[in-house]
């Protein structure tokens, strides 16, 4: 059991305006779970000894950030110049993903990717790996070591890409099934059946996607939908029998409340209504949509249809692992659409809302007792500018807003997974170590001169 005393924020319900903010709160954690969250004064009044807490007076604790759409191998294509989706895939992404045929390299990538998640305060993610079974294994292994609640899947793609990345309908099925048996429900891990997009799958493969999801109904499905206009035009030639892009999935039953479609920028009214009727989920990926020139997602329109919209980085089409950066770009995209995304809605989305979209909210996303203790400690003095600007704010909403506009990984002081410290910002450490080293060198010198 341990207790942290600090400023604490979370969203205990689906209504972002009903946030809970404690200016001086205590978070009690035991065996990886939240045991209690209360004002320090209340705890003390009930006989709790506040001296047993680790006290972080100026910091802000909130639930771990959740990212509902990202690609682990694309850590190595992030920030690649000058192309839109289809050319970007061919020029940068497919060649980068082919390198993961090398198992040792795939392991190194998985470790680096997981480290980036932790350094950015992302405690849960839904991840596309590559079409190599061992690359999915590597990501699951890294997450398992750290007891992370993570969902991932081997990419299924059996046409329209370089040979080195293609599986077959049969092999994609067999390998996915083996991975599901090994990892789905193993510790905190979950499996997402992962057809890359209908453009790189034959009808036979899309049938096998539906079959896997029928055999394992509590797996997820993740894929891409309606991201880019050239992609949509091309899709019509790849699936001439589908009446629209969504139908290329729907015809095979690849649509339900455990399906997460990435992007969804150029949907027709009919597609939106059908997504809403099936309860399927959308991942809004603003840094990617801007970077690849894909278009401006219409958050308000999707919300008006009651579609659960989550928010995601889409690394490496997306340009940052930091969900603060994602929220900042989401704000700007929404501004272009005439909607002002407020800070409470934004931070609800990236914690509780994303947990709800992935149907993980019974486990993570807020601090109600019994939830798993995934949380971050934010340092309001992460940079001189942020520290200065924070002191001008009048309330927590203004403070959160400046984090989403100015913030990045520097805000993350600590990341806890399942009640265990898994990341701590190195600055003070490095400084301390350097200081200790210098100190011991001086002592050694003194010893020598004394000797
Ligand atoms: N559509 C199919 N594959 C991809 C991918 O890797 N990234 C993005 N942004 N869109 C895709
Ligand atoms: Zn993607």
The best mutation among 90, 197, 326 to test binding of ligand 1, ranked by most ligand atoms within 8 Å of the C-beta, falls on: 197
Q: Are 385 and 406 in contact (CB under 8 A)?
A: yes
Residues 6+ apart with CB under 8 A from 417: 64, 118, 123, 146, 147, 148, 374
Q: How far is the CA of 239 from the centre of ligand 2 (A)?
A: 20
* Tens of pLDDT, residue by residue, the chain (451 residues): 999 999 999 999 999 999 999 999 999 999 999 999 999 999 999 999 999 999 999 999 999 999 999 999 999 999 999 999 999 999 999 999 999 999 999 999 999 999 999 999 999 999 999 999 999 999 999 999 999 999 999 999 999 999 999 999 999 999 999 999 999 999 999 999 999 999 999 999 999 999 999 999 999 999 999 999 999 999 999 999 999 999 999 999 999 999 999 999 999 999 999 999 999 999 999 999 999 999 999 999 999 999 999 999 999 999 999 999 999 999 999 999 999 999 999 999 999 999 999 999 999 999 999 999 999 999 999 999 999 999 999 999 999 999 999 999 999 999 999 999 999 997 654 555 555 666 555 544 444 444 3
Q: Which atom of ligand 1 is nearest to the CA of 285?
A: 9
19 shares its domain with 141? no
- Domain membership flag for residue 118: yes
- Domain membership flag for residue 304: yes
The best mutation among 86, 89, 238 to test binding of ligand 1, ranked by most ligand atoms within 8 Å of the C-beta, falls on: 89
287 shares its domain with 151? yes
Tokens of 15: 């209504």
50 shares its domain with 71? no
43 shares its domain with 191? no
Helices 323-336 and 396-406, axial angle in degrees (round to 10):
90
pLDDT at res. 428: 53
Tokens of 157: 């793609």
- Domain membership flag for residue 437: no
- Domain membership flag for residue 440: no
**3-state class (DSSP) for residue 57:** strand
Integer-rounded Cα radius of gyration of the chain: 23
212 shares its domain with 336? yes
Ligand 1 in reach of 69 Cβ (< 6 A) = no
Residue with tokens 């929220």: 327
Residue of minimum CA distance from atom 7 in ligand 1:
317
Residue with tokens 């690609």: 71
188 shares its domain with 118? yes
171 shares its domain with 251? yes
Assign residue 308 the CATH number of its domain. 3.20.20.140
- Domain membership flag for residue 95: yes
d(CA 125, CA 70): 7
The best mutation among 71, 76, 84 to test binding of ligand 1, ranked by most ligand atoms within 8 Å of the C-beta, falls on: 71
Ligand 1 in reach of 281 Cβ (< 6 A) = no
Ligand 1 in reach of 226 Cβ (< 6 A) = no
280 shares its domain with 372? no
Enumerate helices (H) and strands (E) in the chain, giving the number of each.
Answer: 18, 16
- Domain membership flag for residue 346: no
The best mutation among 195, 196, 291, 293 to test binding of ligand 1, ranked by most ligand atoms within 8 Å of the C-beta, falls on: 196
Q: How far is the CA of 174 from the centre of ligand 1 (A)?
A: 23
Ligand 1 in reach of 231 Cβ (< 6 A) = no
Q: Are 240 and 198 in contact (CB under 8 A)?
A: no
> How far is residue 105 from each of residues 183, 289, 316, 328, 370, measured CA to CA in Å?
21, 29, 17, 33, 38
Residue of minimum CA distance from atom 11 in ligand 1:
224
Assign residue 56 the CATH number of its domain. 2.30.40.10
Q: How far is the CA of 119 from the centre of ligand 1 (A)?
A: 24
Tokens of 65: 């950030």
Q: Which atom of ligand 1 is nearest to the CA of 294?
A: 9
- Domain membership flag for residue 318: yes
d(CA 185, CA 403): 34
d(CA 375, CA 378): 10
pLDDT at res. 448: 47
Ligand 1 in reach of 213 Cβ (< 6 A) = no
Ligand located closest to 245 CA: 1
d(CA 148, CA 415): 11
Residue with tokens 């990617």: 288
Burial class (CB in 10 A: 0-12, 13-18, 19+), 104: exposed
Handedness of CA 110, 112, 114, 116 (dihedral sign): negative
d(CA 93, CA 90): 6
Ligand located closest to 68 CA: 2
d(CA 5, CA 277): 44
Q: Are 59 and 345 in contact (CB under 8 A)?
A: no
Q: How far is CA 441 from the centre of its chain?
A: 43
413 shares its domain with 304? no
Beta-bridge partners for 155: 194
d(CA 311, CA 347): 10
Residues 6+ apart with CB under 8 A from 427: none
Q: Please tell me the total count of domains within the chain.
A: 2
Domain that holds residue 296: 65-341
Q: How far is the CA of 206 from the centre of ligand 1 (A)?
A: 17
Q: Which atom of ligand 1 is nearest to the CA of 197?
A: 2
pLDDT at res. 426: 79
308 shares its domain with 383? no
How much is the pTM?
Answer: 0.95
Q: How far is the CA of 33 from the centre of ligand 1 (A)?
A: 36
d(CA 382, CA 390): 11
DSSP-derived pairing of the beta strands 375-378 and 412-417: antiparallel
Ligand 1 in reach of 288 Cβ (< 6 A) = yes
Q: How far is the CA of 40 from the centre of ligand 2 (A)?
A: 43
- Report the chain's terminal Cα–Cα distance, integer Å: 48
323 shares its domain with 210? yes
**3-state class (DSSP) for residue 38:** strand
- Domain membership flag for residue 97: yes
28 shares its domain with 81? no
């Amino acid at each position: 059991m341990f207790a942290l005393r600090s400023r604490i924020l979370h969203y205990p319900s689906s209504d972002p305006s009903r946030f809970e903010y404690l200016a001086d709160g205590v978070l009690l954690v035991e065996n990886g779970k939240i045991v209690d969250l209360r004002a320090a004064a209340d705890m003390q009044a009930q006989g709790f000894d506040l001296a047993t807490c680790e006290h972080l007076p100026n910091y802000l604790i909130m639930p771990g950030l959740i990212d509902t759409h990202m690609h682990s191998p694309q850590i190595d294509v992030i920030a690649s110049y000058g192309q839109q989706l289809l050319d970007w895939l061919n020029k940068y992404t497919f060649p980068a993903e082919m390198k993961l045929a090398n198992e040792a390299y795939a392991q190194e990538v998985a470790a680096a990717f997981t480290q980036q998640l932790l350094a950015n305060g992302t405690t849960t993610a839904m991840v596309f790996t590559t079409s190599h079974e061992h690359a999915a294994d590597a990501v699951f292994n890294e997450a398992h070591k750290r007891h992370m609640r993570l969902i991932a899947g081997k990419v299924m793609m059996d046409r329209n890409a370089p040979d080195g990345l293609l599986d077959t309908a049969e092999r994609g099925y067999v390998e996915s099934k083996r991975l599901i048996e090994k990892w789905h429900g193993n510790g905190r891990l979950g499996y997402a059946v992962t057809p890359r997009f209908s453009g790189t799958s034959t009808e036979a493969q899309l049938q096998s996607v539906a079959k896997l999801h029928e055999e394992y109904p509590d797996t997820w499905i993740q894929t891409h939908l309606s991201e880019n206009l050239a992609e949509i035009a091309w899709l019509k030639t790849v699936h001439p029998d589908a009446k629209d892009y969504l139908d290329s999935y729907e015809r095979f039953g690849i649509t339900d409340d455990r399906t997460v479609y990435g992007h969804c920028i150029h949907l027709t009214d009919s597609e939106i209504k059908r997504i809403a009727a099936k309860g399927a989920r959308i991942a809004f990926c603003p840094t990617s949509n801007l970077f690849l020139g894909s278009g401006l997602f219409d958050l308000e329109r999707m919300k008006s249809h009651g579609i659960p919209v989550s928010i995601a980085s889409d690394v490496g089409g997306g340009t940052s692992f930091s969900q603060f950066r994602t929220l900042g770009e989401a704000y700007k995209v929404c501004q272009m659409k005439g909607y002002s995304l407020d800070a409470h809605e934004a931070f609800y989305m990236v914690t509780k809302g994303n947990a709800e979209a992935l149907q993980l909210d019974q486990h993570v996303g807020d601090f109600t007792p019994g939830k798993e203790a995934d949380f971050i400690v934010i340092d309001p003095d992460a940079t001189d500018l942020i520290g200065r600007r924070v002191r001008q704010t009048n309330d927590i909403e203004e403070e959160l807003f400046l984090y989403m506009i100015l913030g990045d990984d520097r805000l993350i002081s600590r990341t806890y997974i399942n009640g265990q410290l898994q990341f701590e910002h190195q600055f003070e450490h490095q400084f301390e170590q350097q200081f200790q080293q210098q100190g011991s060198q001086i002592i050694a010198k003194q010893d020598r001169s004394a000797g």
